[in-house]
Amino acid sequence: MIILASASKSRGDLLRGCGLDIKTIPADLDEDIIKEKGLDVTTTAVELSKAKAHFISQKYPQSLVIGADQMMKCEGQRFDKPHSVDQAREQLKFLRGKIHHLISAVSIYKNETCLWSHHQRAELEMRPFSDKFLESYLDQVGSDVCTTVGGYRLESIGVQLFNRIEGDYFTILGLPLLAVLDFLRSQDIIET
């Protein structure tokens, strides 16, 4: 059995969409313990992905457990998922007209052992959108703006926030999917 240690609908959809039969079991852990260690954003994302996979692997040691996390930084500042629409508004105003980076990390555990860990980075440049556009955007997405670290989904209207995007699409969605599939093939977990 393959378990995704996450409540993320988009990550679950990505894995199911490529033909994997997965079970989703969110890891119930205090992420702030890792986030407050003062690590750089890449190391934080990797450590969070490992912690999630390890947490679920303890309960399901014979299963292959996938843990994933995503962090965002802009001008040296780290961002988490906004807690409210107002916080998302301020975050998007800060990002407006600037380049930011998304770092997506994934780790795979079995028997409480890390079999593999990987991270990828994407660079995104937000366009200098108007306040009127921002308010229209927030009205359309509502509280969904709080479900992603950047306050946007590229697979929907969030794509209108950008001038330029460089990086793997799946990494931007929060899971370096092609790398995951390569690892699973290398382990004969899925067909080569």
CA dist 25 and 90 (Å) reads 32
Which amino acid appears at position 8 of this protein?
S
Instruction: Judge whether 4 and 11 are in contact, CB under 8 Å.
Output: yes
> Which residue in 30, 69, 86, 139 is the catalytic one?
69
188 is catalytic: no
Q: Which amino acids are annotated catalytic? A: 69
